[in-house]
Structure 1
Amino acid sequence: MTSQIRAQERNQKIIKTAWSGLAAKIITVSVSLVMVPLSVYYLGKEQYGLWVTVSSMVAMLSFMDGGAGNAVINLIAHSAGANDNNLVKIISTAFFSLAALALIGCLLFLAAFPFVSWGWLLGVPDSSPLTELNAVVIIVGIFFFVSIFTTLVGKIQRGLQEGSLDNFWAALASILSLIFVYVAIQNSASLLGFVIAFLVGPLLAYMTSNIHYYFIRRRDLRPQLGRFDRVIAKNLFAVGGMFFVLQIAGVLQGQADNVIIANMLGPAAVADYSICMKLFLIPPMLFGLMLTPLWPAYREAVGSGDMQWVKQIFIKSMRAALLISLPSAILLVLFGSQIIALWVNHGVVPSTGLLIGCGCWMVALSLGSAAAVVVNALQIMTPQIIAAFLSGVVNIVLTIWLIPHVGAEGAVYGTLISYVFCVVPIYWLYLRKVMR
């Protein structure tokens, strides 16, 4: 097969995944737009902020997969590009490795649980009952560890440039979550009942996705314990080790903000911050639809030696990032308060400083995401790890220092400043070198 034919097939798969992703993301965003005011109205600002904080805190455990989840995309895409017939071994090795890691991680989480003061960490007053809070943390933690291996099928599909399948199940997960939450609210569920209803939908969707893919669509790729390969496992975690450090850095850069705000200002402040941030992250989320199919496509192109295609698509993606994010940021900064008032109301009023900070972060994140996809696909890991880890540490320090001076908006400025000065320069230097 010539490089031109490969490029045509690659472009067709990208377009198919992008369009299906657009449909799925429209559904996901629409569900989110309904879910937020529904949740704030039912739970109130403080309990909603508490729920968001618990979710962020448990998401900080994402590094527990050892980076293997993201490494799977590269290994499968490279194997498909090189036609080395290792797909079943890679999938089987990844599936059972992540299942074991999820079990170990869950046991460690449950063992450490009694020794953490969750009320203090989440900014809950001492007078508040902590029994339900503890139950919420346990439930969210267990669901999270189960998702480590149930969502692996989506990464496999993306590695094979079948991202349209993962897009479908992601959309279904959102719809089921909304349905279950609505039923829970109609039955006057407690915070714990609300959380369980929210989490059950995605779990059912991805369990069904696994059954459909391995037992109906691609029986030839069904994980088999006998096909577990130690050499591939070693390679999986060697590549994953790089992503492991990146995930820790990503936690410091993104998920820590809500926990810090809750600890310093209380859960109600998290509601204002997270809702404003959620609004501004919609355009980058939609732009991410273009980027998602590019990762395996870049990697497959590298495997087949077509670096010229990588360069052309990367330049186009950076232009698209700027054209989409900048006008969106300006509009949301100008009219964000009115939009949030119509969307959520219930006392959620973002400050001008928070709106401006979120707008600047939107532009930086969009450009950085376009760069990160090609960097990950090319496995330029060491400089990226240094930049991300440094940025995460600086972000936490700046956030803790800024919040007492400017309020919750200090979190977004800490994130923005650390990203611009720690990540962007290193991305620029290495990508410029590689593209030349």
Structure 2
Amino acid sequence: MKSGPRRRTATTGSAGKGISFSALAGVASLLAALLLLPLIIATVGPEDYGVWLVILAIASFLFYLDLGVGSAVVHFMARSRSGDESSKPDAIASTAHAWSVVAAGGAAVAFGILSWVYISTQGTSTGIPQGDLVILVGCGYALVLSMVLRPMSSVLSGAGFLHIERGNQIFGVAIRILGTLAACSFSPSVGAVAIAETLALVAPTIASLVGVRKRNLVRIRVQYVSRSELQRMFRYSVGAFSVSMVGAAILQCGTLLIGYMGSPAQVTYFNAAFRIYSSVRQIIGWLTDPFRPVLSRLFVKDHAKAGTVLYDLLFVAFITSATGCVFLILSLPLLLEVWLGQGAPLLEVQNAASILLAGLILNAIHIPLIPASDAAGRPGAFLPHQTAWLICYAGLSIVLFPHFGITGVTLAMTAPLPIIELAYLIRAQSTVGLAGNMWHKRVIRPSLPVLFVGLLAAIFIFAMQGRLSIIIASFGFIVLTFLTLFLSRKLWSYKSILSSLRLES
């Protein structure tokens, strides 16, 4: 089987360029989520919107029935660009596309069953019109069937065009904003909002397909579909898939449990807190994603450089998480009051969001370790850790939710993290050669001044009270953080990080 070299019509991007576009897309997604939620709640109500959020969570979770083939596409496409002749781009893309068709069919069947069970037990209690319920389910099916095209996003990333793929995500955010505004203004119903959000989620995938074809990166042909290629991709992807799927279960667990144990309104207000958490987490994930193909290539030809890049990546992820989460925790009282209004349970949402954000600072320890281990050829290495976290989270949620509501669910998610993160670090010693003393020197020690500034800001708010103290402390924290990082730039090896950012993605 021959699949000749592809003629490229554009140059690939660097890790820094990928991060820039990723950060822009993440910030745009965060702002859209923050600005649109109160409008949606005011227009369609928290109960109706909560039903759609559960259906959306079901559809999103079923994306993982592709068994992680997308991660294999990124990995082997990147290796192909580093001289790995066993990785043929046409065969990789064609085989992944064929498999995605099969996976989408299975996901559609599963979605039909799960959505019917939920709507028949919970969804009809809100009084949503039958026509809107049909639209909600139809939108869920559209999302599930979009799995057929999802490998094209991975092709772009693996071929060195992550910045283009992230640009497509920004395009989706724009559609979400315009579509939601139109739905709330001209057709105020949960069905119209669901259509707008579905279009926003599907559009980037279609745009990625257009981008692949425009740049002539691969040829999708039936004759390039290979059972041996699929088996090779599965040997890599199943490990990555298992970790990713359990990770997805962790992210969707709270919404699904509250959806079945509580009310749709509780789902909406939990989602308000979780939307802040997941948006910041998404930014961190998108900061690390550009390094997935970089590390895949380096682990082929330069292990020493791969180790240097890994420590740079760990620091960038951790300092970004610490800065963003501390700022949001400090400013939450004012942010939620402006965002959700006095009619929402502000204190409950604030407590839930604060707990999630505090946990996210710890999360940032392991988030880069998963793609790094995948790139090193050790996918699935953290499956026991992810599984233990999921079991603890689900079990504690069942116990705490009846007593503490959505705050109990966030406590259940965050409480196991200190032990879980320590286990991640221990496991990373064997998967990517992480050295504890070097990790402390390159990641934790340069971050301590920023955490200390955050502690001082929190003490200032507690001592002074009032809105003015929150504003002064929040923005004062940001100014002092950037000043601290500038003055300590040699401590966190800024030259090494700049060098890593220039690497071709």
TM-score range, shorter chain: 0.7 to 0.9
Counterpart Cα distance in 2 of 1:199 and 1:394:
32
Q: Name 1:99's counterpart in structure 2.
A: 101
The superposition leaves residues 268-323 of structure 1 with CA deviations (integer Å, 9 ceiling, x where unpaired) of 1122221122224444333333211011111111122x111221122222223332
The unaligned stretches of length 5 or more in structure 1 are 1-9
Change in 2 beyond 3 A, CA 1:185/1:378 = same
Any conservation in 2 of the 1:93–1:232 contact (CA below 8 Å)? yes
Q: What is the SS of the residue equivalent to 1:409?
A: helix
CA distance in 2, matches of 1:285, 1:39: 22
1:14-413 aligned within 5 A: 14-84=15-85, 86-110=88-112, 112=113, 116-120=117-121, 123-124=122-123, 126=125, 128=127, 131-132=130-131, 134-214=133-213, 216-218=214-216, 220-304=217-301, 306-345=302-341, 346-351=343-348, 353-413=351-411
With the length of structure 1 as denominator, give the TM-score of the two structures.
Answer: 0.88
Residue 132 of structure 1 deviates from its aligned partner by: 4.8
Partner secondary structure for residue 221 of structure 1? coil
Residue of structure 2 equivalent to 1:428: 425
Task: Tell me the alpha carbon deviations over residues 337-390 of structure 1, each in whole angstroms, 9 at most, x when there is no partner.
Answer: 210111232424143542431222220222221222212222323441121122
How many equivalent residue pairs? 420
CA pair 319-265 structure 1, distance change in 2 beyond 3 A: same
Give the counterpart letter for 1:245 in structure 2: S
The ranges of structure 1 where at least 4 consecutive aligned residues each deviate by more than 4 angstroms after the TM superposition are: 123-127
SS of equivalent residue, structure 1 residue 41? helix
Counterpart in the other structure of 2:459: none
Q: Deviations over 1:117-145 (max 9, x none)?
A: 4343xx45747357356424522331222
Q: What SS does the corresponding residue of 1:22 show, helix, strand or coil?
A: helix
CA distance 1:251–1:289, change in 2 (3 Å): closer
Change (3 A) 1:347 1:109: closer
2:440 is aligned to none
Cα RMSD over matched residues? 2.5
126-135 vs 281-290, greater mean Cα deviation: 126-135
- Report what 2:483 is aligned to: none
In structure 1, how many angstroms separate the alpha carbons of the residues matched to 2:207 and 2:317? Answer: 34
Q: Deviations over 1:80-108 (max 9, x none)?
A: 22341611111111111112221232245
Question: Which residue is equivalent to 2:415?
Answer: 417
Question: 1:327: how far off?
Answer: 3.7
CA distance in structure 2 between the aligned counterparts of 1:366 and 1:287, rounded to whole angstroms = 8
Cα distance, 1:189 vs structure 2: 4.1
Paired letter, 1:166: E
TM-score (norm 2): 0.77
Give the direction of change, closer, same or farther, for the CA distance of 1:357–1:119 in structure 2 (3 Å limit). Answer: farther
Identity of aligned residues (%): 15
2-structure distance, mates of 1:24, 1:115: 34
Q: In the aligned structure 1, how far is the partner of 2:140 from the partner of 2:355?
A: 31
* Equivalent-residue separation in structure 1 for 2:128 and 2:277 (angstroms): 34
Equivalent position amino acid for 1:90 in 2: I
Contact kept, 8 Å, 2:52 with 2:136, in 1: the verdict is no
2:153 and 2:347 mapped to 1: Cα distance?
A: 35
Please tell me whether the aligned partners of residues 81 and 300 of structure 1 are also in contact (alpha carbons under 8 angstroms).
Answer: yes
Shift of 1:23: 2.8
Alpha-carbon distance in structure 2 between the residues aligned to 1:20 and 1:323: 19
Q: Distance between the aligned counterparts of 1:97 and 1:417, measured in 2?
A: 38
User: Residues 186 and 177 from structure 1, CA distance in 2 versus in 1: closer, same or farther, beyond 3 angstroms?
Assistant: same
Relative to 1, partners in 2 of residues 1:28 and 1:113: Cα closer, same or farther, differing over 3 Å? closer
Query: 2:31 is paired with a residue of what secondary structure?
Result: helix
Q: In the superposition, relative to structure 1, how do residues 297 and 350 fare at CA in structure 2: closer, same or farther (>3 Å)?
A: farther
The match for 2:441 is none
Letter aligned with residue 257 of structure 1 = G
Task: Tell me how far apart the structure 1 counterparts of residues 340 and 284 of structure 2 sit (CA, whole Å).
Answer: 24
Computing the radius of gyration from Cα coordinates, the structure with the larger value is: 2
Q: Which runs of 5+ in 2 are unaligned?
A: 1-10, 436-505
1:182 Cα offset (Å): 2.1
Letter aligned with residue 414 of structure 1? A
Distance 1:162 1:127 in 2: 45
Q: Distance in 1 between matches of 2:331 and 2:30?
A: 19
Answer yes or no: is the 8 Å Cα contact 2:183–2:193 preserved in 1: yes
